[in-house]
Structure 1
Amino acid sequence: MRFIKFTGMVRAKLGILIPCRIAVSCSCGKPRMKLYNLDNSPYSARVRILIRQRDLPVDIVPPPVALRTDAFAQRFPLAKLPQLELDDGRSIGESAVILRYLNDIFPGTSPADPSPEARARDGMLASFADTHLAPALFPLFASLIGRADVGVESQLDLVRLQLQHLEALLASWPGDIGEPDVGDICLATVVAYTLEVGGALGAPDLMSGLEIANAWWNGVRQWPAVEQTLTEMLEAHRAFLAGL
């Protein structure tokens, strides 16, 4: 199924012509897009949230070859997941890029066009997740699975510092988030992993005292697609740890 954007004029009440942009779906007989996915990956989880939130015609499938093999590197140019395979066989990597692409090609499924300020907030949250919080978290994850020897307490302090920065960032953009957008989705999966890893390392209270961040966290999880996917992601993470 493909969505087609139509721009034209419609006649409203009183006979006034107004411009419109309509997204309609059609069955074009082409293969559906595929998201090559890992259930325990916060980056794959982001895309699954958007697909479910907006009921997008994208199949979610596991990689067809084993990870960290020559065949995997040949099949996936960036040698990592997620990867979105288009209906013409081309592929898109990097979760944030995939999310933006899906937003662009399915305009009729997304909320009303956001203001420049809303887009700025969205971009800041996505950037914060990937360039501030995730780098502080990853050494702890590596320590948890026995692949790195780090000072856990000092690294936890770095995570706490980043969460304080998040509190300040959210405070500077007050208001209800409404339906989670790309920035909220990107941030939610990393926050979920942060709290999970922190709890496993004896720090279950990483967001204690962060009133605004906790309000955002509780709000974003009210959306069924978010809660379902985060639960699925963390269950897969725990299964991964159990198999080590």
Structure 2
Amino acid sequence: MQGKERTFTPEVEKVWNKDYQCEYYRGVIIDGEDNIVERCTRTHASYDAALDEAKKKMAYSPLYYRQAGADIKEKLEEYKKKKAIEEKKNAVVVFHTDEFGEWKYMYEPKDGGVLYRFRYKNQMSEASTFLSAKSGSSAVAPLIANEVYRKGESDKIFYESRIRSEYDIEKLPGHKDIWKITSIVNVTQNKNQDSKVTVRYLKFGNLTKEFKKREKKKTIVIKRKWAFYNDLMEYIQNYADIRW
């Protein structure tokens, strides 16, 4: 006779906190007979926070997820998707292309979400290379080859590797244009599938390091060819109705 299949469910138990002299909560996992099979390590002042931790333990544990009932699996899948979105929203993300001079974007989760648009100015400068040659005993006139190099390349690499917050944007070196996008007004798509996004923004540079007082409005183009196009558009659409 085949044994009964075990099923697991996330739950919460009350725990007495000796330091605060009140009840706290801890996430637990129970089986089909209401036995606690595992307790989470942390305790929480919030019931919901404790339940969230129990759900996370189940959703990311192959042991419990595999043996959960169909209805619980469906709820755990929804939970994983929800947590993935929350984690994405709570992470500092830098979107940048491999092309020098293209606009980059940074999303910072503080204050409900802040989006920055920035770029390094394409600092180009000419340099001369002198080549000399000899033919027998007579010297041939030096050959001069002009080449163009990017003065800002090292600044760009240094800058992009260290962006974590607005403070970093202000303090790191290099000639740059930076917008703080305050709201999304409208989003449409071009025939070539690039997206036109109308934004309100405040602009500042690395000379004054201060936001200009007057807010501006402009339509910018998010290019389909950018590798981060879908991710960036997801941020823009998710936060289009939120004041940044």
TM bracket (short chain): under 0.3
Higher-Rg structure is 2
The higher relative CO (CA closer than 8 Å, separation ≥ 6) is in 1
Structure 1 length as normaliser, TM-score? 0.22
Structure 2 length as normaliser, TM-score? 0.22
